[in-house]
Amino acid sequence: MHNGFRKVNASKVTINELMLPSHANFSGKIHGGYILMLMDQIAFASASKYSGSYCVTASVDTVDFLNPIEVGELVTMKASVNYVGNSSMVIGIRVTSENIQTGKVKHCNSSYFTMVAKDNAGKNVVVPPLQLCNLEEVRRFHNTLKRISLRNEKNRHEETFDYTSPEALEGLKQYRVKFDL
C-alpha cells in the first residue's frame, strides 16, 4: 500500500511513431484500430509508471477521431494521470500528427482510459494518491470527476429504462425504428 502522494509528472509519457503504409486502412488513412492500440499501450505505460504496478485497461471513454492521420506523418501521443481512485487511474491521452515536410501539426484525438493496477496474482492493488501541482492539473481532475458523474448517471438511466412497456416502445418510434417483436 502506498501512503505517499505522487505528482502527475510521475505518470507522464510521450511516444512518437512515424506512420507507415502498413498502418493504413482501405481509404489510405491510418487505421483507427492501430491508433487505439497505440493509445492502449501509452495508457498502460503511464498507469504502470505512476502506480509501480502492472495495469490493465478497464474502460475507454470518448474516442473521437477529429482529423485523419496520413501515411508519412509523425504521430505524437502524450499521456498522464488525470484522476486516481483506490486501484484505478484515469489516463488522459492527446494524439497529434505532424506533416514532417511542412511542419503542420493537427490535433487528432483526445481520449481517456481507465486503468486498474494489479498484483502478480491478478488482484487489485492500491495506487498512490494524487498530488495536483498546478491549475491545469486541477482542471483535468475536475473534468474527470464530471465525466465519472455523467457515466454513473448514464448507467443509472440504462438500468431504470423499462424497455418492455408499450409506452417506452411507442416513445422510441420517433427515432425511425420499426419493431418486429
Instruction: Assign 1 a pLDDT band (cuts: 50, 70, 90).
Output: very low
Q: Enter the C-alpha cell of residue 80.
A: 498522464
pLDDT digits (tens, 9 = 90+) for 126-145: 999 999 999 999 999 999 99
Give CA–CA dist 90/96, Å, rounded. Answer: 20
Q: Enter the C-alpha cell of residue 77.
A: 501521443
pLDDT digits (tens, 9 = 90+) for 65-122: 999 999 999 999 999 999 999 999 999 999 999 999 999 999 999 999 999 999 999 9
- The pTM assigned to this predicted structure is 0.86
pLDDT digits (tens, 9 = 90+) for 26-60: 999 999 999 999 999 999 999 999 999 999 999 99
Residue indicated by cell numbers 483526445: 110
Q: Which domains does the chain have, with CATH numbers?
A: 6-132 (3.10.129.10)
